[in-house]
Structure 1
């Protein structure tokens, strides 16, 4: 664990996924990047299954995922719904923009590293460097767009379309922070966790993944996703990446 104000040069490297996420929507100069990096008061490593943010609890900090995967969760009685997946570069939630905290928790799916930024210090920086505020608002708006698309996923798409849409979305988001190759990416999720996000039983998820593998468009095994035919997978899902603020991700040579 590291505490206290961080050295700007060192922290720019550690914050790379977050800064890449912000800069993909609004051009940020070197002064903006250094300004954000210097606000980090703590970077901590958190074990798998640890709760990062409690529902309804307001916080004076913004938490950013630097590595690993997390999710937002809504629990009802003894059942839970995953309402979003958080990847490196994502803000755990946007309650810092509101007076009241949402009734959702944030939990680490894998081991994660989290950066802490005081809300007051971030607000002061945004007043001095408004491009940072524009980038943060853009990220928040895209987060809302993702939530809306997930509602469509649950309400209108078939099981196969839901799975296809989710893998297309995660691929596009991971490409932004340079964590996906031309076809493949690591995804430390269980089939049960996929089901909690897609409104499907584990058995139904397993059957759907087998169908997509037989169609030679997607393989998901042992925490690794391979998109054999990304165009066909997008066609199955009727996926359009514009709600992510992106055009179609450009493949690179790395797999």
Structure 2
């Protein structure tokens, strides 16, 4: 089973890129972030024509998350992160696919630091940790997957000294990521490539992709009950080089 995450950075504007990648890569399950479209504008007809079922939660101009599945039924669990009824941002959707809990997330960026956006990011992480702890306690085969907007370690960033006060690399958020791992969640990319520098995002500015001046923001974390099934993982970096592509590249795992 191949499971992938892809921050599309505008699903309608980059639909040809998404459909091309789906056709070439053939993932079984795909989590999308940053749809940047309201609920009624999601391209469900085109997604269905490509062979995928879909659930999604849109938001006008910003955010938005979706889960696609090929040859699998999608049972939606919830489309908001519990804990704050006033939070209207579309950043979380959770479903059951093939007896696995799929938690697709688009964690807040948090910049500029310091400020209210960073405070919101920390509050969101706190709520997210409560949900992940529940999944561990219930001993469920679960996957935390998406754009975490967290650079976990210095290995995951080009020139880390330039990111010290960035909300993606602040000590507080890196500590939160480490706490997930301590609870038993396994970083799939690091499990397969423990010492290799791997990026999933390259800015559009300063020829960052050509220079491989990237960062790793897109993660797939497995609960202890799925980690033994991890067979392979990777990043389709070449997709970032396609014309009119997202600034992220698809990240994927294969489970036995």
With the shorter chain as reference, the TM-score category is: under 0.3
- Normalised to the residue count of structure 2, the TM-score between the two structures is 0.28
Greater Rg over alpha carbons, structure: 1
